[in-house]
Amino acid sequence: MDNYLDSFIRVAADCPATVGRAPSAGRSNKTIPQLEYELLANAPHKLTQPELLFAVHVLRLGISQQELKSQRKQLWEEFFKKSRACLRASMLPKKFGWGLHFNSAGKIRLVAVESDEYQELANGVRTKTVLTAMRNRRG
């Protein structure tokens, strides 16, 4: 899977959020947006897009650290045999008001839609490529 470099994904045109907010818990198991948010909020610019998608997959399956350590390469290859949606399809920029900044190494961090930094990045200041998250509804 390709990764974005020195890029910014701004919120979807039909994103209902006017401020960045954490996805709320509503079920016994954490949702994909909750896991993505927790991983990115707790470790800005630590994970690339493929690493984030894989980490969410591992957490959702409940794979133990021991199993992950011994079978990481096999699990990784198996996960990416099938094409995966990029983070433009993530609910973080589609619904929860988070822009996604990818640094020159492709590591991601969250940027709240209401922040001055978001406005700079969304306008192409300090980043090479600006993309928009996919819409929630067909328009």
Does 2 map to a domain?
no
With bands split at pLDDT 50, 70 and 90, how would you rate the model's confidence at 139?
low
Structure letter (DSSP) for residue 25: P
Domain that holds residue 98: 7-23+31-132
Does 105 map to a domain?
yes
* Phi, psi for 20 (deg, rounded to 5): -70, 130
pLDDT tens digits, one per residue of 120-129:
999 998 889 9
Does 113 map to a domain?
yes
Does 107 map to a domain?
yes
Contacts of residue 38, defined as CB under 8 A and 6 or more positions apart, other chains included, come to: 30
* Phi, psi for 65 (deg, rounded to 5): -60, -35
Does 19 map to a domain?
yes
Does 87 map to a domain?
yes
Does 1 map to a domain?
no
Number of domains in the chain: 1
pTM of the model: 0.93
Contacts of residue 23, defined as CB under 8 A and 6 or more positions apart, other chains included, come to: 31, 33, 34, 37, 91, 92, 96
Does 139 map to a domain?
no
pLDDT tens digits, one per residue of 25-44:
767 789 999 999 999 999 99
